[in-house]
Amino acid sequence: MVTLMEIYASLFNEGFTWMDMWIHKAQLMAEPVSRECHLQIQ
């Protein structure tokens, strides 16, 4: 089984920085939340 560190390392080697990865992860997590909030506002 591939560990998370190995996945991160391979991404890093392909030009991803840790910052890019965390920003991307945060956007993925925030998107459904913001969409849900938007629906509740209307």
What pLDDT is recorded for position 6? 83
Q: What are the two backbone dihedrals, phi and then psi, of residue 2, each rounded to the nearest 5 degrees?
A: -80, 130
Number of other CB atoms surrounding residue 21 within 10 Å: 14
Tens digits of per-residue pLDDT, 1-42? 678 888 777 776 766 677 777 888 888 888 877 777 777 776
Q: What are the two backbone dihedrals, phi and then psi, of residue 15, each rounded to the nearest 5 degrees?
A: 105, 0
Residue at token pair 């209307």: 42
What's the CA gap between 38 and 1, in Å, rounded? 39
What pLDDT is recorded for position 25? 85
What pLDDT is recorded for position 16? 63
